[in-house]
Amino acid sequence: MSIIKLLDDFSSEKLTTKSSSRREMFNTLGSFGKKAAAAAVPFGLATNSASASTMFFDHEGPLGLALVLEYLEAEFYMKALESGVLAPDSRAEKVYMQISKHEDAHVAFLMEALGDDAPAKPTFDFTAGGAFDPFNEGGIGQETAYAQLLALAQAFEDTGVRAYKGQAPNLMGTPYLEPALQIHSVEARHASEIRRIRGLKGWITGSMRGDGMPEATQAVYDGEENVTQGGVNLVTDLTYADEIVGDLTAAVTQAFDEPITGETAQAIAGLFIVSDE
């Protein structure tokens, strides 16, 4: 099954109805849900040679994967700032400008590092085939577009944190490990701030994507519920010298971010990449 075909299906769904309340709007986001999740799973495993993933992710290595993710983020923030969806001089606009500056710098850094091996910038579709309208290009309305703009930013940043973490072992013994780690923690700063603007904690509890996040983004959070570190179950097998406040399992999952594989990162990013064919 082609990802493009799946994404085409989204556009025929009534997902973009303007909602009056924030809660309804989030529900609208949520209904994007199952199909995209279904798309995400087979996507990473797809053998279809026409799929976007084959075009942009094969043989790129850890830095190539990083560059594609940075291309995606850089273009997303640039378009967000051009869209007029963010209120002038608002906190969100300031934050997007700062993040945009960092993602542009990351793109430049990685292009320099990769030289002739740098993958070309893919064609991105931040509507994911019509499921979203984050820049209000389709007239979904400023409020809904704003909510989608923030939800997508959270998904991209939390994905970035996990993807860099997953690639770190592949960069051991190279001069790129340290700068990759320096980018990784910047993505985590971004993620924390976007989450806080959305009214969430800056850190991830369990595998919860958080209020208002489309179900399609669940792949970004699956696995974050892990409580075993270095072979030790930190909920059942460790006694703490000072008492933990509140729920121990929640605290343990918050205290450690989990990596994702390159395949998972590709599957998530692939939802927003269109084939040029």
Chain residues binding other proteins by CB under 8 A are 91, 94-95, 97-99, 101-106, 108-109, 161, 164-165, 168-169, 172-179, 181-193, 196, 201-203, 229-230, 232, 234, 238-242, 244-246, 251-252, 254-259
Q: 152 or 234: whose CB is closer to other proteins?
A: 234
Closest approach, Cβ 162 to other proteins, in A, equals 9
Q: Which is nearer to other proteins, 84 or 202 (CB)?
A: 202
According to DSSP, the residues that pair with 274 across neighbouring strands are 123
Closer by beta carbon to other proteins, 60 or else 187: 187
Taking the complex as a whole, how short is the minimal distance between the CB of residue 237 and other proteins, in angstroms? Answer: 8
Question: How many Cβ atoms from other residues are within 10 Å of residue 66's Cβ?
Answer: 28
Dist. CA 91–CA 114, nearest whole Å? 35
Residue pair 266/57 in contact by the 8 Å Cβ criterion: yes
Amino acid symbol at 103? E
| Nearest-approach distance from CB 239 to other proteins, in angstroms | 8
Smallest separation, CB 88 to other proteins (Å): 13
* Closest to other proteins by CB, 121 or 189: 189
The upper half-sphere exposure of residue 128, i.e. CA atoms within 13 Å in the direction of its Cβ, equals: 27
Alpha carbon 99 to chain centroid distance? 14
CA dist., res. 143 & res. 20, Å (int) = 9
